[in-house]
Structure 1
């Protein structure tokens, strides 16, 4: 892995980033920033689809959004334990890509994997800046300037709302790439994601955030600490 990234997005499963901040991914890619997505798991326990199909869907979504680099760490679905081995791998990704900004799931969510991902990324980002913390591949320490947290299954007060109106069509297309997750029909198991209201809820949430800043669509972010600048990068 030789590339670096201005912004590094983490998700527990393929489609987490697209649901929460697909517009922010597309907006920054369109403005010339290098963006990378790191999926912690392959979502092998998902009720619908297969690992291979989900991988293909993630690749298609990445192309639509303009992602520079996609990484799959292959941790077990529902097995995000925060073990030393898992944290070291995440730390290594951060050190190799040297992002200026990291985005991870919000620490409150109905899915335990999203909560675990949030905690693990926070710990790994801290470890990445420790000079004496060794990783399997020796990389110099790196301290990320800012970590923001995005919403997946819920909505709350946002510290920052990014106007994504001009790229919202790309977000919508990227989400529809995950046909195995968001479509219902013969042979599909009913889940919260493939109900007719789910994607409508995501759009409505983004419209609500957009309304708060006088835009058509927005995506909300939370910071665990003081925010020291207006732009993400």
Structure 2
């Protein structure tokens, strides 16, 4: 049996991967990939308002609730693995040890591709920071002089998933993925995020709108695939191809 392909998601907070690339996770798992998710923080301070409004809320209690939600969502998506770095949020910060920890994951996973946030987000600076760290750690993982003797990383594409307000984030999609076949899994994962219920229908609408763009760009009225739900991404690095 051939070795399974892999992919890696670097999520700033423990819910981000659900809204923005849950379909990609579920679809690639279904296609035989092992998808690993790294949550750099739980989003316990800045993205857990509903949980903080509950009587007797504590930092550790909020973090625990966020972890349980993310684990349930990852299970709904059939993700291969989910890891929590617990680095804190608002602001999210990574020291050298945390960077090397992510490098270790990247080298272990050896992803065919990586997924992370837009490179700009004036509403949430944790998001572009996570991508900056993903790019930096990707670079370190490619360095032959970093922990010599380990298998170095090749050149996986880094796809930026859709930010909450894309028009404010300098984000321009060039890849649209049909996730119709795994929409039920993504919606189930979305509904695991009880602390951010206000986003459930928002990201359902995003998926439907992106499916309209998928239909338009796959042939439109001349015979485009009838996708009902899609996710879109922006690639960072050039693609190497033999045909267009």
Same fold (TM over 0.5): yes
Work out the CA distance in 2 between the residues paired with 1:125 and 1:131. 12
Work out the CA distance in 2 between the residues paired with 1:5 and 1:107. 26
1:159 and 2:174 aligned: yes
How many residues end up aligned between the 2 structures?
A: 212
* Unaligned ranges ≥5, structure 2: 52-61, 216-226
* Unaligned ranges ≥5, structure 1: 183-193
Instruction: Within 5 Å, give how 1:1-233 maps onto structure 2.
Output: 6-45=6-45, 46-49=48-51, 50-109=62-121, 110-134=123-147, 139-155=150-166, 156-182=171-197, 194=198, 198-214=199-215, 215-228=227-240
Report the Cα offset of residue 5 of structure 1. Answer: 6.2
Structure 1's 5 and 82: CA in aligned 2 closer, same or farther, altered over 3 A?
farther
Report the Cα offset of residue 228 of structure 1. Answer: 3.3
Work out the CA distance in 2 between the residues paired with 1:229 and 1:23. 25
* 1:209 counterpart SS class: helix
Work out the CA distance in 2 between the residues paired with 1:219 and 1:86. 30
Work out the CA distance in 2 between the residues paired with 1:37 and 1:139. 22
Say if 1:206 and 1:217, in contact at 8 Å, map to a contact too.
yes
Work out the CA distance in 1 between the residues paired with 2:241 and 2:25. 19
Report the Cα offset of residue 31 of structure 1. Answer: 1.6
- The TM-score, its normalising length taken from structure 1, stands at 0.84
CA deviations on 1:58-91 (whole Å, 9 max, x unpaired) are 1111111000111111112224334322221211
Say if 1:10 and 1:104, in contact at 8 Å, map to a contact too.
yes
- The TM-score, its normalising length taken from structure 2, stands at 0.80
Work out the CA distance in 1 between the residues paired with 2:207 and 2:38. 23
Report the Cα offset of residue 229 of structure 1. Answer: 5.8
CA deviations on 1:144-200 (whole Å, 9 max, x unpaired) are 421111013123431100000111121111011011221xxxxxxxxxxx3xxx333
Q: Flag as ranges the 4+ runs of structure 1 deviating above 3 A.
A: none
State which structure, 1 or 2, has the greater radius of gyration over its C-alpha atoms: 2
Q: CA RMSD in A?
A: 2.2
Report the Cα offset of residue 143 of structure 1. Answer: 2.3
Which residue does 2:221 correspond to in 1? none
Work out the CA distance in 2 between the residues paired with 1:75 and 1:13. 10
